[in-house]
Structure 1
C-alpha cells in the first residue's frame, strides 16, 4: 500500500493528472480491496495441541504447527503499527517446523498469544495479560553507542547507504529520462577534472561520516536495549523506529557466546549471544547484548546460564607453531608463485603480508584456551573474530576428536563438542591428544570409556617348584 501511494504521489508531481496517475489510482483501489479481503478471510486459532491459521480469499490455505514444536514467539512493531497500537507476531517452530506471521494484531493480544504458546497450556487457563512483575537483567547505557565504530558491520554503513542512494537516484533519473549517455560522460569528465584539494576534502568528509553513521545505525537498531526475565523466558527488547521483542525459553538456553574483534578487545568490549536449541536465525534472535563492557556481558551470562568457568587453560606450545604456519603459509605460497612468474612487485607485497601475518598467528595462539568447572565447558579461539563458547554439560550430545596429519605429528587434536544449539557445537582447537580425551572423559565418562584401549595384561611366568624337575623341552622332531 505504501508503495502504491508513493507511486501515485510521484506520478502526480511529475506528470500531473496523466494516464499513469489514473493507473496508479486503479492499482491503489485494487490493492486496498485485496488487503481488506485478505484481512476479512484470515483467521487463527489456538487448539490444545496445535496453532492453526486459515486463509480463504481465493484458495483455502490451512497452516498448522504443533504447539510442542514452537521454539519462539517474537513481537515487533514498526512505527505505523505502534501508532495504531498493533504488532507483528512471528511464531517460530524451528528449522523444520516453519513460521507463522500474524500481521496487525492488537498489542495486548500479541502478548497474550506469546504467553499461551510458550507456556503450552490450555488457552482457558491463562487470563489476559495484566501488569506483570519482571526482573531486569541488563539495560544498555547511552555511552555504549560510542562503541559502534569498533564493529565493522556498523562502520561500513555509509557505504551501504551511499550505494543504495546512488542506485535509487540513477533508477529514478533513468525512468524520468534525466540520465543519458552524454550527461554521464560529461559528469565523469567534470569529476575527473576536480582539484586535488576538493577530492581530498570529499574523502575526509566521507571518512568522518563513517563513525557518525555507524553510531546512528547502532542507535536505531539497539535503542533502549533491555533484557529481562518474565514467565520462565528471557526477553530482549530493542529498536527505535521498529521495536522488536524476542522471548527465549530459559529451559532451551543451553549456552552463551561472547564474541569480539581486536578493536573491541582493546576497548574491553564484547557482544553476547544465547545458544538456544531449535532457534532459527540465532545470530539475530539470540542476541542478548550488543557491544557492551566485558564485565557487564559476563555478569549477564552468569545470570542467564551460570558462572563462566575460568581461568582458561593454555594450549601446548606446539599449537603456536601451527598458528604461525597457518597464518603465514598462504602469503608465502603466493609470493613464491609470483616470483616464479617473474612478478617481483607482487612477490614483495606477498612477502610483506607474510611478515605482517606473524603477529596475527601469535595472537591466535594466545587466544586459545578451555576450562571446565564440572557443570559448564568453555572454549575460546580466533583472533580477528574471537569467540568464546560456554555450554552446559547436559547440552553436549556427542564428541568428535579430529587429528590431521600435521596435528598427529605435533601430538595435537581438535576436540569438537556437538551441541544442539547455535551453530551445532564448539571446538577446543589444538589441544594435546591426552587432554582432549581426558576432557571428554571427565564430562561424559560412559561415552568415552568404550573407545579407550584396554590395558595390556601383564605377562605371567609360571615358576616351577624347586622339588619338581624342569619340564622337558618341546619336541622338534617329526613323528
Structure 2
C-alpha cells in the first residue's frame, strides 16, 4: 500500500506551497539529502551536516598529567614495597602507561554534535551514554582556559541549564579556542538559522557593548573582602594536611609529628614569630590571590547576554541571559564599608553555582556599582524603611549577652580558683561584650526594606551586609516566620520567596503591622481575599441647633411669630413661638 501524499524527501508538486520549516532541517539545505548539496545552490550551507566531532587530540597531553596526583600515592607505595628495585619501577611504569591508554580510550569514545535544535554528547566506553540538551533550555555557556589548556590553545566549555542545579549539564573539556568561541555563539543564538551564506560579521560573532572594565588599581581593594586574607592560613593548613597524608611514605609518622609539636611548644617565641609572619603575609598573599582570580575583570553586553570575563592564570568567561536576570545583590564587609567599596552578584533564575558564576562586579566603589547595576539591570529608586526600635534591642542583646554570660562564669571561677586562665577569659569576654555594643547598633542600622513600585529591596547584616534588590515579578510568595522570642517582642521575619538566586530574601525583625502591610503593598491582588475589610464609617447625622435661652411668651393668634393655622412652617428661631429651652 502506497502513500498518495507527498513525502518529505520528494520534490513538491508544481504550485504547491513550500513545506513548513522544521528545526532538524537547519543542518542541511532544503531539497538536499543527508550529506548532499542542494541542486542549483552555489555556496555551502551555513551549518552543514557533518560527522560527530571529538575533542582536540592535544587534550591527551593534559589528561595523564591531571591523573598523576591521584596516582602519586599508589606509585610511591609500589616503589616502597618493591624496595625501589627494577621490578618496582617496571610496575610503576606500567601504571603510567595504563593511565595514558585509558585517556586515549576516553578521548576516542567521546563525541558531540549539534543536531537540529539540540546538542548531543555521546560516550561509549563500557556502556553507551547519550545526553541530549535542547538549545532552548540553555541558560549560560562558560568558557575557561586553565594554565595547561592555555599553553596548548585549548579551552573548557561548560553548558548550564535551568534543570542542572549546582552542576553543569554538559562539559567539553579540551576543545580548541576557536571551536569554543564558535560553539558559544551558536548555542546562545536560539533564532532559526537562515539558509544561504553566513555574513562575515555574523561569523565573527555578535556585536558587543562594554559596560565596565575594572581598572587594575582597584585590585588593591581585594584584601578588604576578608576571605582572601585567610590565604596564608589556608596554605599552611594544606601543607600540614599533605604532610600527614604522605608522612608514612616519607618516613614522617605520628611520633615524629608529636616530637616536633613538643619541640615547638618548648620554644614559644618560634610560634609567636610564625604567627606574626602569617599576619603580615595576610594582605600580601590576599591581594595576590585576589588579582589571580579577578585580573582584568570586564563586564559587557552581547546579544542579549551579560558576559563577565576575568582571571589571570585561568581566564574565564561567564554568560548570563539578560531575560532571566531578576535582580542583584550588593555585599560589603565591615572593612569594605569603611573604604566605600562593594561587590555585586546577579540574581538569575536557573543558575547553578551562583556564588561563582553570578558575580557581576568585584570590589569597586559604591557609586560605580550603583551606576553599573542601573545600566545592566535597572535602578532602585526608593529609600529603605527602618525597622521598629525593638529590633535594635534584640540586636544589642544578641551581641552582648553571650559574652556577658561568659564573663560572669569566668569571674565566679576566677574568684573561686584564682587560676590565671579564668582571669584572661574574663578580660577577653568583657572586651568582646564592649565591642558588641557598636556591633549591635550597626546591625540595627543595616536593617531595612523597601519597594519603589518595580523592585523590592531587603537589607541585613553587619560583618557581611547584604542588600538584595529583586523585581516585583520575581516574587512568587511570602512567608512569615516568628520565633517564641519574636512573639514576645512583637516582631517577625518576612521572607520574600523568589524563583531565583537563594530562593528567598529576609526582612528581619519587622513589626507585625509591617509584616502585613508590606506584602499587601507589593502584591495586593494576592492578599486582598485574606484581609478583613475595613468597617464602614457610620452615617453623618447633624446635631439639632439649640435656641438661645429666653423668657417664655406665648404669642397670640395672628402675631408675626405665630404661623397661620394649618401651616407646617415652624416659627422663626429665637421668636417667642419657638420651643423653649426650659
Query: TM-score, normalization: structure 1?
Result: 0.86
Post-superposition CA distance 1:167-210 (Å, at most 9, x none)? 33454453133x256654654454345483x5544333222111
CA deviation profile, 1:277-312 (whole Å, cap 9, x unmatched)? 010111111011122211121111111111133432
Pairing partner for 1:93 from 161, 184, 196: 161
Determine which of 452, 471, 479 is the counterpart of 1:392. Answer: 471
Q: 1:117 to 1:457 in 2, by over 3 A?
A: same
Q: Indicate the residue corresponding to 2:185 in structure 1.
A: 115
Pair 1:184–1:382, CA change in 2 (3 A): closer
CA contact (8 A) 2:294 2:311 kept: yes
Paired residue for 1:175, among 249, 253, 267?
Answer: 249
Shifted more, 152-161 versus 89-98: the winner is 89-98
Secondary structure at 2:119 match in 1: strand
Q: Higher mean Cα deviation, 316-325 or 350-359?
A: 350-359
Whether the 8 Å contact between 1:411 and 1:433 is mirrored in structure 2 is: yes
Aligned-partner SS, 1:149: helix
Aligned in 2, Cα 1:293/1:454: closer, same or farther, shift over 3 Å? same
Q: Number of residue pairs matched?
A: 460
8 Å CA contact 1:233–1:250 kept in 2: the answer is yes
Aligned position for 1:454: 533
* Larger of the two Rg values belongs to structure: 2
- Range moving further from structure 2, 374-383 or 266-275: 374-383
> Unpaired segments of 5 or more residues in structure 1?
462-479
Moved more, 94-103 or 280-289: 94-103
- Equivalent in the alignment of 2:325: 253
Decide whether the 8 Å contact of 1:116 with 1:122 is kept in 2.
no
Give a deviation string over 1:113-172, Cα, whole Å, max 9, x none. 223323323466795740543111122222222222212210001111122223334544
Q: In structure 1, which of residues 321, 328, 331 is the aligned counterpart of residue 393 of structure 2?
A: 321
The alignment yields a C-alpha RMSD, in angstroms, of 3.2
In 2: Cα distance, 1:192 partner to 1:349 partner: 23
**Is 1:443 matched with 2:522?**
yes
Matched, 1:268 2:347: no
Return 125-134 or 280-289, whichever deviates more: 125-134
Q: 1:379 to 1:267 in 2, by over 3 A?
A: same
Where does residue 146 of structure 1 map in the other structure? 220
Which deviates the most, 96-105 or 206-215? 96-105
1:282 is matched with which residue? 354
Q: 1:353 to 1:426 in 2, by over 3 A?
A: same
What is the 5 A alignment of 1:23-422?
A: 23-96=91-164, 99-122=169-192, 129-130=203-204, 132-172=206-246, 174-177=248-251, 179=252, 183-184=256-257, 187-188=260-261, 190-194=263-267, 196=269, 199-334=271-406, 345=423, 349-350=428-429, 352-422=431-501
User: Contact 2:373–2:379 at 8 Å: present in 1 too?
Assistant: yes
Three-state SS of the structure 1 residue aligned to 2:329 is strand
Aligned partners of 2:122 and 2:313: how far apart in 1?
31
Tell me by how many angstroms 1:427 deviates. 2.1
**2:79–2:92 contact (8 Å) kept in structure 1:** no
Query: Structure 2 regions of 5+ residues with no counterpart?
Result: 1-63, 541-582
Would you say the 8 A contact 2:79–2:88 is kept in 1?
no
Provide Cα deviations, 1:386-413, integer angstroms capped at 9, x if missing partner. 0001111111111223344444554433
Give the conservation status (yes or no) of the 8 Å contact 1:137–1:229. Answer: yes
Q: 1:285 to 1:175 in 2, by over 3 A?
A: same
1:304–1:147: structure 2 CA closer, same or farther, 3 Å change rule?
Answer: same
Shift of 1:49: 4.2
Sort the Cα spacing of 1:202 and 1:401 in 2 relative to 1 into closer, same or farther, 3 A.
closer
Indicate if the aligned counterparts of 1:324 and 1:358 stay in contact, CA closer than 8 A: yes
Cα deviation, residue 439, structure 1: 2.6
Change (3 A) 1:309 1:166: same
Change (3 A) 1:175 1:123: farther
CA contact (8 A) 1:309 1:371 kept: no
Partner Cα distance (1:25, 1:136) in 2 = 52
Q: What are the superposed Cα offsets for residues 318-344 of structure 1, whole Å, 9 maximum, x if unpaired? A: 221222223233334555666788787
Secondary structure of the residue aligned to 1:174 is coil
Q: Are 1:423 and 2:502 an aligned pair?
A: yes
Contact 1:415 1:429 in 2 (8 A): yes
Secondary structure, counterpart of 2:248 in structure 1:
helix
Under a length normalisation based on structure 2, what TM-score does the superposition of the two structures give? Answer: 0.71
Contact between 1:272 and 1:297, CA under 8 Å: does it hold in 2?
yes
Measure the CA separation in 2 of the matches of 1:186 and 1:367. Answer: 50
Instruction: Please report how far the alpha carbon of residue 227 of structure 1 lies from its aligned counterpart in structure 2 after TM superposition.
Output: 0.8
